[in-house]
Structure 1
Amino acid sequence: MPRVLLAVLGLILLAGCSPGPVRVAVPSPGPEVATACGPLMEALPAKVLDGERRDTEPVSPFTAAYGDPPIEVTCGVSAPAGMAQAQSQCFEVNGVGWFAKEAENGIVFTTIGRAVYLEVAVPSEYAPEANALTDVSDAVHRFNKLVFPCT
């Protein structure tokens, strides 16, 4: 009997340590962008920077999260303030152009020169934050059509 009690207590403790769903703002893209985001989001990896994929709240096909603190990925967002398309400074990671903007607790990266905007918000605890882009760039390269190159 004591072994069963210890096993139950162990499960309760493990369940209490699991991070819950991540609250992520859900964009409202038009039909064409929403259609393009589907395969892209499905192609995202199971892990980003060794962080497991987590549930998001509300549940949406446009959002994903990884690790704790969460790295948030959102497809179908608007262009961020300060990004002026081809004139904005960008840098490439595995053939994908990114625009970077400092946020309150990290950096928000947005694809640049692609058919749809994909945003990756990386907390400063993961510095250098751009390393997270390596894990998602393959999906972006395959499922987010290049419109103009990063310059």
Structure 2
Amino acid sequence: MNIFRHRPNAAPGLSVLALLIAVTGCSSADDSAAAAVPSPGENAARLCRNLDKVLPEKVDGLEREDPEPRSALTAGWGGPAIILRCGVERPAKMVDPKVANGDDPDAVGGGVNGVGWLMEELGGGKTRFTTSGRLAYVEVTVPKDRDDSAVLVDLAKPVKKAIPEGIAD
């Protein structure tokens, strides 16, 4: 017996279903973050993998939700995401005399719980922090309306544990 014989309206129904699937598939309901994966040298990559193993499940009260593409060199928490990238290049502002003298309004150095950070104000209310005085550079981008100090406090212990003090290559 042919079960499709008595379904004269099946084709229009299928085309509506196909249209709904296509529209749904194109929507941006997926809110996952993306982060460029750094390409550090062998030593920094090893340290970054060690950092990934000791990162907390929560930062500033937000659950860990790693960005795409998945990598041991990147991590994320919440949405909009707090993004950590390990093994980044040294920021140009880190050697800028204006920053060292406190003359750059968009960048300043400081420390939180034994970890030195360069803070840079980005567009849209975001702030980027990059470790200083460590054998690998760790960058943390904090979205607008998040507590920068809570983020850095939560990350200080794992950074100190995994990334020794020194001058990065």
User: Which range, TM-score by smaller chain?
Assistant: 0.7 to 0.9
1:47 aligned to 51, 54, 58, which one?
A: 58
Which runs of no fewer than 5 residues in structure 2 stay unpaired? 1-28, 101-107
Q: Does 1:96 align with 2:107?
A: no
1:24-103 alignment runs, 5 A limit: 24-84=35-95, 88=100, 90-103=109-122
SS in 1 for 2:156: helix
C-alpha RMSD of the superposition: 2.1
Structure having the larger proportion of residues in strand: 1
Equivalent residue for 2:166, pick from 144, 147, 150: 147
- Aligned-pair CA distance for 1:82: 0.9
1:76-100 deviation line (CA, Å, top 9, x unaligned): 0001121119984521111111110
Count of residue pairs brought into register by the alignment = 130
Structure 1 distance, partners of 2:56, 2:88, is 20
SS of residue matched to 1:54: coil
CA gap 1:19/1:92 in 2 versus in 1, 3 angstroms:
farther
Q: TM-score, normalised by structure 1?
A: 0.79
Q: Given residue 132 of structure 2, which amino acid in structure 1 is its aligned partner?
A: I
Aligned sequence identity (%): 38
Contact 2:85 2:140 in 1 (8 A): yes
Please point out which of 33, 55, 74 is paired with 1:22: 33
Q: Please give the per-residue CA displacement for 1:89-136, whole angstroms capped at 9, x wherever unaligned.
A: 52111111111011113110000011000001001111x423210000
In the alignment, is the contact (CA less than 8 A) between 2:88 and 2:138 conserved in 1?
Answer: yes
Give structure 1 stretches of 5+ with no counterpart. 1-17
- The one-character-per-residue Cα deviations of 1:48-80 (angstroms, maximum 9, x if unpaired) are 001100032111110000011100000000011
In 2, distance between residues paired with 1:19 and 1:45? 24
Mean Cα deviation higher: 42-51 or 128-137: 128-137
Amino acid at match of 1:138: K
Distance (Å, rounded) in 2 between the aligned partners of 1:147 and 1:55: 28
Residue pair 2:142, 2:148 contacting (<8 A) in 1 also: yes
* C-alpha contact 1:22 1:57 (8 A) present in aligned 2: yes
Distance 1:85 1:52 in 2: 35
Q: TM-score by structure 2 length?
A: 0.71
1:92 is matched by which residue type in structure 2?
G
- Contact (CA 8 Å) 1:92, 1:98: kept in 2 or not? yes
